[in-house]
Amino acid sequence: MILTENKHFELHQVKEGIYAAIAKDGGGAVGNAGFIDLGDKTVVFDTFNTQQAALELKKCAEEMTNKPVSWVVNSHYHGDHIRGNQIFHSSNLISSELTYRKAKDIQPERIKGQKQDIAGLENYIQTLQSEYNETKEQKTLTQIHFLKEILSSLPTLTLTLPSSTFLEAFTIHGTERTARLFTRGAGHSPCDTFLYLPEDEVIFMGDLLFVKTHPSFFDESDLDNWMHTLQELSTWNIQTAIPGHGPLGTKSDFYQIIQYIKDVKTIAENAEDAAVINIPSSYEDWALKELFEKNLKQLAHMQKNKMEASSIHD
């Protein structure tokens, strides 16, 4: 059930006291987020890509739960899940220890580089605007809106790191329900955290789960452990899964991502040119189609690096 929406996200009530903020194309959210009323405290899961989207999330959380946000969880260090942290500076921010270290090591330079190239971003937006004036393509207009949100956020953006960390698990006890944080290590990122609500059989997955959306692979991804984690979670009591990207899902979506990874791995092993490979019919209707070719190239790159490393040790 959609309770409200703005240009950044749609707010869905998953169950009484459990809310998912599903990102809208062209807004300042990019990734999904959400919040949970534990009874005596409120927990936010991820903080979006911009301060303006995070501010809307905070307002919704405080209005719906009628209390300030006590805890904020960062699922991993990628910008679309942590760049809204500064809006929650008075809350307890928590992540895995590795997520904290990766954010501290990598994000400052990324943010600094973007701040130094604001003029370049403005010029690029103008170029896209001219293109849109000619083509009227919706995809271009969505990209313009997205980049304008980035542009709006950069002047006042500051990196706010988690103040607490954990290694493998952490529990936040409430008077109405319990939030359990876990990491099984690398998957989409070097360390992905998920939040499980056992009494409600609801799980916030971060980017371990993409629903009807092509996932993104990186050099730092561990596809085998990613599949292993999803396989483990498929045995848990879960009715609803909130993904990092895409609409609300269920455990059946775990199997779809496992199969996607297997399929793309097989195609990459046999493909000579990723650019000429058609998207398999099972994934034709998924969002972010451009990631399919990127993932094939990424897998080919990872396989090459593995072979080179193996030859060095031989």
pLDDT, tens digit, for every residue of 254-277? 999 999 999 999 998 887 766 678
Q: What is the pLDDT of residue 2?
A: 82
pLDDT for the residue numbered 250: 97
Segment among 119-123, 247-251, 271-275 with least mean pLDDT = 271-275
Residues 205/154/166/32 CA torsion (nearest 10 deg): -10
In this prediction, residues 106-123 reach a mean pLDDT of: 97
Confidence of residue 302 (pLDDT cuts 50, 70, 90): confident
Residue with tokens 């008075």: 90
Lowest mean pLDDT among 29-38, 175-184, 266-275: 266-275
> What percent of the chain is predicted at pLDDT more than 70?
96
Q: What does pLDDT average to over the chain? A: 94
Six-digit token pair at 124? 């690029």
In angstroms, the CA 60 to CA 310 distance is 51
DSSP state for residue 90 in the 8-state scheme: T
Kindly state the DSSP code that residue 280 receives in the 8-state scheme.
P
270 vs 205, more confident: 205
Quick one: fold of 2-104+160-262? Metallo-beta-lactamase; Chain A (3.60.15)
Mean pLDDT across the stretch 77-106?
Answer: 98
Residues 6+ apart with CB under 8 A from 174: 37, 38, 39, 40, 41
Structure tokens, 4 = 């409200």
Residues contacting 105, CB < 8 A, separation 6+: none
Instruction: Please answer whether residues 6 and 21 qualify as being in contact, where contact means their C-beta atoms are separated by less than 8 angstroms.
Output: no
Residues 224-230, mean pLDDT to the nearest whole number = 98
| Distance separating alpha carbons of residues 200 and 71, to the nearest angstrom | 19
Residue 170 has phi, psi (to 5 degrees) of -155, 140
